[in-house]
Amino acid sequence: MSDPNFSRKKFIQKAVAVGILTSSASVLRSCSNAPAGVKERGLQFSNFSEVNTELEKILNSKTIVPYGEWSPSQILLHCAQSIYYSIKGYPENKSEVFQNTLGKIAFWNFSRKGKMSHDLNAPIPGADILQSGVSLSDSILELKKAISAFSNYTGEFAPHFAYGKLTKQEYELAHAMHIANHLDYINLG
């Protein structure tokens, strides 16, 4: 004779697992916010060396066609802001339950594909407002400073506000994919 509590427990575990997977699939699909009418360039970065190569292209570009609500400088400052927060801590975090379920699934999925997709107009929760009027060269310099601070940092990294605890290597991948996702829609001339 089977134990009815065991069957109920297994059913609940499976229902929760199916719910998490179904929710994560819809979250991952809704993360994309490609700008209307802007062509993707197909950028994929897995490390900061690749990011630095693209930053040089941007710096040497004659024209930059932006997208969305932020200027190219604000986009670069947003990316720098995220890197600094990984060192000092994010101002607001999703719950640990979110980080250890949907957040981990999202990061795993992005890592597997080598490409991130997220709302390109969404600020980091609780982050300072991005400065306007900063020159492109100054914002590139700020992003390079953030990358250098990250690379030289030897302490424990703060949990990512959505993905939770990441190793230094995972964080570099997350930041590189984040930057690629944003720069993918900036057209250079």
3-state secondary structure 49-89: HHHHHHHHHHHCCCCEECCCCCCHHHHHHHHHHHHHHHHHC
Provide the number of structural domains found in the chain: 1
pLDDT band at 6 (very low <50, low <70, confident <90, very high): low
- What is the amino acid identity at position 64? I
Q: What is the predicted pLDDT for the residue at 2?
A: 55
Residue 179 covered by a domain? yes
User: Do the Cβ atoms of 126 and 89 come closer than 8 Å?
Assistant: no
pLDDT tens profile 158-187:
999 999 999 999 999 999 999 999 999 988
Q: What is the predicted pLDDT for the residue at 34?
A: 67
Q: pTM, whole model, 2 decimals? A: 0.83
Residue 64 covered by a domain? yes
Residue 15 covered by a domain? no
Residue 12 covered by a domain? no
Residue 172 covered by a domain? yes
Residue 20 covered by a domain? no
| Domain range for 96 | 31-188
pLDDT tens profile 118-157:
999 999 999 999 999 999 999 999 999 999 999 999 999 9
pLDDT band at 63 (very low <50, low <70, confident <90, very high): confident
Residue 7 covered by a domain? no
Instruction: Tell me whether residue 75 is exposed, middle or buried, using C-beta atoms within 10 angstroms of its C-beta: 0 to 12, 13 to 18, 19 or more.
Output: buried
Residue 86 covered by a domain? yes
